[in-house]
Amino acid sequence: MDARLRCARRLVERVLEIISPDAAIHFTGAGHMSGRDYAKWMGEALANLEALEVTPMDCAGNGELLYIAWEASAKIQGERRTYRGVDRFRLKDGMAVEEHVIFDSAVLTPEGRGGIERT
């Protein structure tokens, strides 16, 4: 089995550990979905990103809300692209019941328009 596919499957399992199946997910460029659909969508999306690396940069929270700033890098259309974003989670009973994933999704297009860095 391809290493990216194995990694994506592990991620789906992890998503289901922290995101409620009924959570409201708002993902830039992908629209709105449930936590259950998000886990499946993430598995498929990440299996298609070559050499993906995600690094948490900072976080803040107040008990109910959690913000995580991150930087991601992946090979897209044959070139390495680096982009940054923020996830905002609303937590209830230790699970995320809402998530907003915010970044310039143009980086994922073949043209790579938007605020990206090419290396």
Residues 106-119: tens digit of each pLDDT: 888 877 765 545 55
pTM equals: 0.81
**Structure confidence by residue, pLDDT tens digits, 62-96:** 989 999 999 999 888 888 999 999 999 999 999 99
Q: Could you give the percent of the chain with pLDDT greater than 90?
A: 45
Report how far residue 92's alpha carbon sits from residue 44's, in angstroms, rounded to the nearest whole number: 27
- Catalogue all structural domains in the chain, each as residue range(s) with its CATH number: 3-118 (3.10.450.50)
| pLDDT 10s digits, 3-23 | 656 666 676 677 788 999 999
HEC string for the chain: CCHHHHHHHHHHHHHHHHEEEEEEEEECCCEEEEHHHHHHHHHHHHHCCEEEEEEEEEEEECCCEEEEEEEEEEEECCEEEEEEEEEEEEEECCEEEEEEEEECHHHHCCCCCCCCEEC
